[in-house]
Amino acid sequence: MAWSLEKSNGNVETKVVSVSPATEDYAEETIEVIKAEKVITVPTDTLYGFACDACSAEAVNRIYEIKGRDSSILEKSLNPGLESIGVRVPDYNFIRAVAHGSRSALSLTSTNLSGQPSIINIKDFENLWEHCAYVYDGGILPAGRAGSTMVDLTKLGKYKILRPGSAKEETVAILERLSLLEDGTGD
């Protein structure tokens, strides 16, 4: 059952919308919010995340402000000389529908302050709701606080686990099924 709570706090309206079980009922609304260069919070298959249009410098910088991170890190990360980029396809229908419908890349990072534990329950970050145009509730997320499994695939035919995350075993099984070998060189 969907519910909403609207609260006015300065110029930001926060609306909490239930999307548990995973539903695409609010995808169109969410896409419009993202196109308006707003920051939202969404459930994924691992954690809650701040999300916005990755092409909106204003919205991406806003996420850095909310998290208490230096936005100059962002500018360096967009340097054409960078050797890697992270790509993620969450196994969560709601955010996949939003990503598909927005027709733009999404910037998505964990919904927590820098250095703090990752969030699996919206009640754990109520103090940050006021910074988001919308907060979507997917309940308590089952994956735990480990986050995404991160893999380096920059060496041909090899993989290296950079962060085990919540799906290490499944990820390794897929990589090995594709005949990739673990890179144990430590490079």
Q: Is residue 171 part of a domain?
A: yes
DSSP for 102-128, please give it. HTSPEEEEESS-TTSPP-SSGGGGGGG
DSSP codes joined into one string, 65-100: HHHT--THHHHHHT-TT---------S-HHHHHHHH
Name residues whose C-beta falls within 8 Å of residue 16's C-beta, 6 or more positions apart in sequence: 3, 4, 5, 122, 129, 134, 135, 136, 137
Q: Which of 21, 169, 157, 6 is nearest to 94 (CA)?
A: 21
Both 121 and 99 in one domain: the answer is yes
Same domain, residue pair 100 and 166 = no
Q: Are residues 110 and 174 in the same domain?
A: no
Domain check: are 80 and 118 in the same one? yes
Are both 29 and 75 inside the same structural domain? yes
> What does the pLDDT look like over 26-66, one tens digit per residue?
888 899 999 999 999 998 888 899 999 999 999 999 998 99
Same domain, 156 and 103: no
Q: How far is CA 133 from CA 38, 39, 56, 57, 164, in A?
A: 6, 6, 15, 17, 32
**158 and 113 share a domain?**
no
Residue 7 φ/ψ region, left for φ over 0, alpha for ψ in the -120 to 50 degree band, beta for the rest: beta
Give the domain extent around 35. Answer: 19-137
In a shared domain, residues 40 and 124: yes
Overall domain count for the chain: 2
- State whether 59 and 103 are in the same domain: yes
Q: Do both 40 and 97 map to the same domain? A: yes
Asked if residue 98 and residue 63 are part of one domain, the reply reads: yes
Same domain, 80 and 119: yes
How confident is the model over 88-143, as pLDDT tens digits?
777 888 888 998 999 988 998 889 887 788 888 988 888 888 888 888 888 888 76
**Across all residues in the chain, what is the average pLDDT?**
79
pLDDT of residue 63: 92
Instruction: Identify whether 34 is part of a domain.
Output: yes
Is the residue at 63 inside a domain? Answer: yes
Q: The whole model's pTM is what?
A: 0.74
Query: 4 lies in a domain?
Result: no
Helices 27-35 and 93-102, axial angle in degrees (round to 10): 50
